[in-house]
Amino acid sequence: NQVLLETKDLRKYFSGKKGLFNLNPPVVKAVDDINLTIHKGETLGLVGESGCGKSTLGRTILKLIPMTSGQVIYNGEDIAAYDKKQMWEMRKRMQIIFQDPYSSLNPRMTVYDLVSAPLEVYGIGSAAERKEMVISILNDVGLDKQYLNRFPHEFSGGQRQRIGIARALILNPEFVVCDEAVSALDVSVRAQVLNLMKKMQQKRNLTYLFISHDLSVVRHVSDRVAVMYLGSVVEIADKQDLYGAPLHPYTRALLSAIPIPDANRKRNRIILEGDVPSAYNPPSGCKFHTRCPYATDRCREEVPALRDMGGGHGVACHFPGDFSVKG
């Protein structure tokens, strides 16, 4: 398993503005010392409730927003240190697909303009060659060339996401962050777009970071899955291990909330108490302790490190896999 990308103690902190009455503005630790490894050709799923920092992590890895500190090692090089020009070159290899294709596509641009724009920006090909490339990738994503001169509003949500995918892939990237890429689509269309993404991955040996709040979708597409809570990765494992034998109480609670299609199977649903705490003032020790049914005094004081329990199954809990109420 060749490593494509690695984050080392990656941080993205947002701080409020300092003012006359606000000398110590609160800090949001949206991405809080994250260490992740992504292998070539795999899909790493990233799940967690909204506001946990998933999207911020994706954007920080791509340097679409500046990191606070840490490293992003891509193919052995720390791109955190890259300047604008180096990053501009790098951008060809790292792309992003957004949730809402409509808002990410300029409504006044035709399909041709939208999909060929990256080629123009990078000065790739003659006008005729660019047209060939656009027609070829539209064909790959299942759109006929008769659509070249149409505008985004003339398309369905699924077709718009196909345009978004074509645009993200036209420069032949290696790594693609998919941020809730199918979350806005109807269930029937969603499966088609997911299949397309899978097909493109195989054909082009793409590596995906697949961000979603939907655990069923992530299960469907991922090889490995990481679970985030308040800016931290609390568990990461092969899909089978994560879904079959989760070791972190938060993962277990998330999974217990998925409806089971088979009515003969039973599952004890774990109800999490309270809302996600404010990221402005995260709980001490284990950030999950305010909602964890198994929390002890130690959990309230000591931050659990992400430890490898074997086979690449990492978990950040003082009592991994021990789902008994203590004390």
Asked if 65 and 264 touch (Cβ cutoff 8 Å), the reply is: no
Q: Tokens in use for 168?
A: 């993200």
Q: Which stretch binds ligand SF4 (CB under 6 A): 64-72, 112-120, 124-132, 292-300?
A: 292-300
Q: Which stretch binds ligand SF4 (CB under 6 A): 101-109, 151-159, 258-266, 311-319?
A: 311-319
Asked if 25 and 16 touch (Cβ cutoff 8 Å), the reply is: yes
Site for ligand SF4 contains 289 (CB under 6 A): yes
Q: Which is nearer to ligand SF4, 132 or 308 (CB)?
A: 308
Distance CA 217, CA 222 (A): 9
Number of residues that bind ligand SF4 (CB under 6 A): 13
Q: Which is nearer to ligand SF4, 175 or 288 (CB)?
A: 288
Question: Which one of residues 55, 60, 95, 251 is an interface residue with Mg ion (CB under 5 A)?
Answer: 55
Distance of CA 275 to the CA centre of its chain: 22
Quote the least distance from Cβ 286 to ligand SF4, whole Å: 3
CA distances from 138 to 74, 115, 145, 219, 221 (A): 29, 9, 7, 28, 22
Distance CA 104, CA 155 (A): 14
Question: Which one of residues 34, 200, 295, 306 is an interface residue with ligand SF4 (CB under 6 A)?
Answer: 295
Site for ligand SF4 contains 229 (CB under 6 A): no
Quote the least distance from Cβ 284 to ligand SF4, whole Å: 11
Site for ligand SF4 contains 292 (CB under 6 A): yes
Q: Which is nearer to ligand SF4, 132 or 275 (CB)?
A: 275
Q: Tokens in use for 154?
A: 């003339």
317 interacts with, out of ligand SF4, Mg ion, none, CB within 5 to 8 A per kind: ligand SF4
Residue closest to Mg ion (Cβ): 55
118 interacts with, out of ligand SF4, Mg ion, none, CB within 5 to 8 A per kind: none
Asked if 210 and 44 touch (Cβ cutoff 8 Å), the reply is: yes
Q: Which stretch binds ligand SF4 (CB under 6 A): 75-83, 121-129, 190-198, 291-299?
A: 291-299
Quote the least distance from Cβ 38 to ligand SF4, whole Å: 25
Q: Tokens in use for 117?
A: 């724009």
318 interacts with, out of Mg ion, ligand SF4, none, CB within 5 to 8 A per kind: ligand SF4
Site for ligand SF4 contains 249 (CB under 6 A): yes
Q: Which is nearer to Mg ion, 211 or 272 (CB)?
A: 211
Q: Which of residues 13-32 bind ligand SF4 (CB under 6 A)?
A: none
Q: Which stretch binds Mg ion (CB under 5 A): 16-24, 47-55, 65-73, 194-202?
A: 47-55
Question: Which one of residues 79, 299, 313, 314 is an interface residue with ligand SF4 (CB under 6 A)?
Answer: 299
Question: Which one of residues 74, 210, 243, 288 is an interface residue with ligand SF4 (CB under 6 A)?
Answer: 288
Q: Which is nearer to ligand SF4, 49 or 113 (CB)?
A: 49
Using CB under 5 A, list all residues that contact Mg ion.
55
Using CB under 6 A, list all residues that contact ligand SF4.
248-249, 286, 288-289, 292, 294-295, 299, 304, 317-319
